[in-house]
A and B are shown apart, each in its own frame.
Chain A
Amino acid sequence: MKISFAQGVAMAISESLAADSRLLLIGNGFVGLNMEARALLEPALREFADRILVAPVSELALAGAGIGAAMAGQRAAVDLSTGSFIFQAFAQVVNEAANVHYMSGGQTTAPVTFCSLAGMRSAGAAQHSHRIQAMLGQVPGLQVLVPGGADDAYHMLKWALLQSQNPTVFISHALLLGETGELTPGAPMLPVGKARIRREGRDLSIIASSITVPRALEAAQSLERDHGFSVEVVDLRSIAPLDRDTVLKSVAKTGRAVIADECHRSFGVAAEIAATLAEEGLAYLKAPVCRVAVPDVPVPFSPPLEAELTVTADKIVAGALKVLNAGSTMRRPV
């Protein structure tokens, strides 16, 4: 069946509430302004009203309460709304949730899921446009899920809510909410921690996650159509855990890599993938890798300025052509 990303989120929450009576929802947004998904979520919110907690604008305490409840035997999903607002909750997410299992020598677990609607969503300006995955990738103990399609949104959120034993940040993207995908009811999920080959190809690998997945797929199509290249798209699905093996295998096959990432260029997800390729995949590379990421500046309001910084399919194509047309002279290691 065809579902949208937001519908996947709504279905995962509804089904999880029904499946596990320990699950608490702190807040009730989760699907942004997607009205179809809100309608889909509505019956569950009514049916399980006693497990849905009214949320004041108190992100720090909401996050902490989710962690505390999870440590004490519940499971919790905390709606942190716009991705940038997780900074209000950082002390609890980063310095409490992430550390609790380790600090307690394995005694305590905190199966809590923080839901964030992150990313450059158009006109969010500097304070509502953060992509938070790279920062959170620097926090051992957290799982950071960055689904790029409706199927994964459904499966991975459901996994986080019902099965995960660890604190998880589930990152949606405002511009992904309406993206549709095929969901086979009852089909097993590709495990969390495995990247997904969204499209097979021979000449180049585009490594993408979250919003850059559909953009990479679009770029791959035009590279094939307009330039005759066969392009593979790897959807990372999660930043932590990070499936380095699938990335390396793909690049071993294609010999060339473009990394499309909406984080800032420096210290971003793309930087980590590039470092992995440099350390473990240099022998496969026929050309230097290329990061197509957001320049290291805050996100401005003005539409043409935001467009200047946005990772589009066109910019991915341009990066790909650079990689495809270069590199035959690159010195191969002996």
Chain B
Amino acid sequence: MQRKNDPGERVAAMLRIRRFEEQCILLSKDGQFPGHYHVYIGQEATAVAACAELGTDDFVFSNWRNHGHLLARGAAPDRMMAEILGKAGGYARGKSGTLHMAVRELGVPATSALVGGSLPLATGAALACKRQGRGVVVAFFGDAALEEGACYEAMILASLWKLPILFVCENNSIPPAQRQRGQYTSSTLPAAQLVDVPQALQIRTEAVDGADADALAECFDRLVAEVRSEGTPRFVEVRCTRWPGNFPLWPELPCGQWQLDWAFGQSPDRADLATWLEQSDPLLLYLRKIVAAGGLTREQVQALDERARAEMAGAVRFALDSPFPAPEEAYQHVRAEQGATL
């Protein structure tokens, strides 16, 4: 887990997620794993800021877009990549794949790939935290979750029972001009503002720009502290603009892997990507800002990137080398063994 407010650690954490996701896309294109998957490119600053506030007693809940949340929480990229490939070396021995990736020992007990599916679970974990007198819950979900009844019902309980949970709605389809103004909901939800909904249930809410790593760090620092000290729920809408590579049905790398030079004068030759980078890429915008402010040198950033790339290349090697589980594995873990220590 990263040290709070250290620019080098923050950059490293974001770079690790981006480089991991790029490898994931390349492996899929290479036919190394079947099925649908979702990447976190363009939202890295959110998971990094939120997880920087968490300790070992805290819980994180996620959804199909979980790679970034898990990496920020401290999961091992090699075991994650092995899981994505359905290999025996994965966290769930290949049973979850990308969709349900979870790491119990890091406080991520289960990942639902159903819209809104994890919100009641996260609320229950917050109830456990309250009973046990330690820990808080951060629940990440997309904007469509607000279309599901489960979401309302979970928020009702969190408010009524006064539970220590931070609902993090990652609204990832907002045009850049509207990120700050917030006049737009991307989902098919007829609410003027997503935050109006939890507010009506007496949950304190705010919205934050998902492309502004500093604003996110300030926001999560404050909100997680409030949840911790007051033991009541909060709701934050993180307004992000979708990365162009996430528009096709299957993720794609527009103009190949992300380049550090794009933060410092160069530009990719695809207009939509260039615009997104300039206006909406939390990683690029933070790098520019921190280098201009003298918090990090370009060389230091370069070194961090090389380290992240090397780490993820290693994760790919580990995953490719890991064997597939034996067929008998399919029959393991249908039920927990009685008497097993919990």
Contact = CB atoms under 8 A, between A and B. Distances in A.
A297 B331 CA distance: 6
Interface in A57-79: 57-61
Given A123-B97, A125-B96, A56 B331 contact: no
Interface string A266-283: 000000000000000000
Given A123-B36, A302-B87, A308 B96 contact: no
Given A125-B113, A126-B100, A296-B334, A305 B149 contact: no
Contact of B35 (A124, A126, A297, A308): A124
A123 B148 CA distance: 25
Contacts of A295: 330-331
Interface string B76-98: 00000000001100001111111
A304 B329 CA distance: 10
Name the residue in B35, B96, B145, B147 with the highest tally of chain A Cβ atoms < 10 Å from its Cβ.
B35
B2 interface: no
B325 A302 contact: yes
B189 interface: yes
Contacts of B229: none
B330 A300 contact: yes
B96 A304 contact: no
B327 A301 contact: no
> Looking at chain B's contact residues, is the secondary structure mostly helix, strand, loop, or mixed?
loop
B188 interface: yes
A267 B62 CA distance: 33
Interface in A114-155: 122-128
A300 B35 contact: no
Contacts of A125: 35, 95-97, 99-100, 113
Interface in B284-342: 324-325, 327, 329-331, 334
B148 A304 contact: no
B334 A298 contact: yes
B155 to A, nearest CB: 15
B26 interface: no
Contacts of B334: 296-298
A33 B98 CA distance: 20
A45 interface: no
A32 to B, nearest CB: 12
Nearest to A126: B100
Contacts of B187: 56-57
B148 A58 contact: yes
Interface string B168-205: 00000000000000000001110000000000000000
A217 B110 CA distance: 40
Interface string A193-213: 000000000000000000000
A37 to B, nearest CB: 16
B148 A305 contact: no
A303 interface: yes
A128 B117 CA distance: 13
B34 interface: yes
Range, interface on chain B: 35 or more
A139 B239 CA distance: 44
B113 A54 contact: no
B34 A123 contact: yes
Name the residue in B33, B114, B147, B329 with the highest tally of chain A Cβ atoms < 10 Å from its Cβ.
B114
B95 A301 contact: yes
Contact of B94 (A127, A128, A302, A309): A302
A305 B86 contact: yes
A302 B86 contact: yes
A309 B189 CA distance: 39
Nearest to A122: B34
B260 interface: no
Contacts of A54: 188
Contact of B86 (A296, A298, A301, A308): A301
Nearest to A124: B35
Given A127-B99, A127-B112, A56 B35 contact: no
B99 A128 contact: yes
A85 B190 CA distance: 22
B149 to A, nearest CB: 5
B271 interface: no
B154 interface: no
Contacts of A33: 249
Given A57-B147, A302-B87, A297 B113 contact: no
B144 A302 contact: no
B128 interface: no
Given A56-B147, A308-B327, A127 B86 contact: no
B210 to A, nearest CB: 21
Name the residue in A33, A54, A122, A303 with the highest tally of chain B Cβ atoms < 10 Å from its Cβ.
A303
A112 to B, nearest CB: 19
A128 B35 CA distance: 11
B188 A56 contact: yes
Nearest to A303: B86
Interface string A283-313: 0000000000001111011111111110000
A34 interface: no
Contacts of A123: 33-36, 97
List of 6 A-B pairs having minimum Cβ-Cβ separation, nearest first: A123-B35, A301-B97, A302-B94, A302-B86, A56-B188, A56-B147
19 contacts: A56-B147, A56-B189, A88-B148, A123-B34, A123-B36, A126-B96, A126-B100, A127-B99, A127-B117, A295-B331, A297-B331, A301-B94, A301-B97, A301-B98, A302-B87, A302-B94, A302-B325, A302-B329, A307-B327
Interface of A: 33, 54-61, 84-85, 88, 122-128, 295-298, 300-309
Given A123-B36, A127-B112, A302-B325, 13 more contacts: A33-B249, A57-B188, A123-B97, A126-B100, A300-B94, A301-B35, A301-B95, A301-B96, A302-B94, A302-B95, A303-B86, A304-B86, A304-B325
